[in-house]
Amino acid sequence: MASSDGSAGAPPSATVEVPGTAAPVLVVGAPGLPEADFRNAVESSLFKQWLRNLQSEKGVLTYGRLNLTRVLIQGVDMFGKRVGFLKFKADIVDEETKTKVPGIVFARGPAVAVLIILESKGETYAVLTEQVRVPVGKFLLELPAGMLDDEKGDFVGTAVREVEEETGIKLNIEDMVDLTALLDPATGGRMLPSPGGCDEEIGLFLYRGCVDEETIRSLQGKETGLRDHGELIKLRVVPYNHLWRLTGDAKALSAIALYEMAKREGLLPQPMAPPSANL
């Protein structure tokens, strides 16, 4: 990448070498975007991963018809010292028709979610979180979930950590089943909830265990989450066979579909030890 230039009040800019493009790609900052935010954006793992995706086996630039000419960095949200959210617009041109392909991107990176199924006294339950979701202006019932906060791609480790943070249930990594890994490898083995505008890819995991009735009662309505991070979470334990009607959460609905299909096809391993709840 060539050094950025924000001199004389001009928006910061840089050029990036991207294999598969006709020329180096110009990356510019929107008017008013601080130079530091621009540099953080261009050097972020979110932006670099997006560039790698363009050149992947099924990438936008792979077949030569589409060409990336310019990227406008519009907004950056920092999570401490790392870029948490990134908003940009990519100018991608169809070389046959000379028209632009829609290219507004909200980049937030990979995440995980866990379908927790608990057996108790012959009944099957699912554990959900209830929390405020400002973008939709509602409290929502969802699977326990969280973003990967490093570049190591540790999906299963993040899944276990997020479950403990949001529910207090300690899970063993070896008991986790990666449901999205059962997808055809050509899909990338992740669920894409909104690829028309967002790069988020989610690893969906399954955990099954057996608990007593007291554990079910203790989990119901329990307040959890990292309060210093603004997480105001209550747990809801619901009958599993009602789950698909109780939430519009795409993570939950996708996990149910994968779980039921995998169960039907005999692809699930036998469940191991029950979880121990940190109540």
59 contacts: CB under 8 Å, gap ≥ 6: 20, 53
Of the candidates 185, 3, 209, 34, which has an alpha carbon nearest to the alpha carbon of residue 126? 209
195 contacts: CB under 8 Å, gap ≥ 6: none
Nearest-angstrom CA–CA distance, 201 and 56: 15
pLDDT at 270: 79
DSSP 198: B
Mean pLDDT computed over 162-186: 91
CATH 3.90.79.10-classified regions of the chain: 110-265
pLDDT at 279: 46
Between residues 153 and 83, which one has the greater pLDDT?
A: 83
Report the top-level CATH class of 110-265. alpha beta
Of the candidates 142, 126, 115, 121, which has an alpha carbon nearest to the alpha carbon of residue 239? 126
Between residues 135 and 19, which one has the greater pLDDT?
A: 135
Mean pLDDT computed over 132-148: 94
Confidence of residue 10 (pLDDT cuts 50, 70, 90): confident
Mean pLDDT computed over 71-99: 96
**Residue 233 near residue 222 (C-beta atoms within 8 A):** no
Decide if pLDDT at 4 tops 80: no
Query: Per mean pLDDT, which of 39-53, 158-172, 225-239 is the most reliable?
Result: 39-53
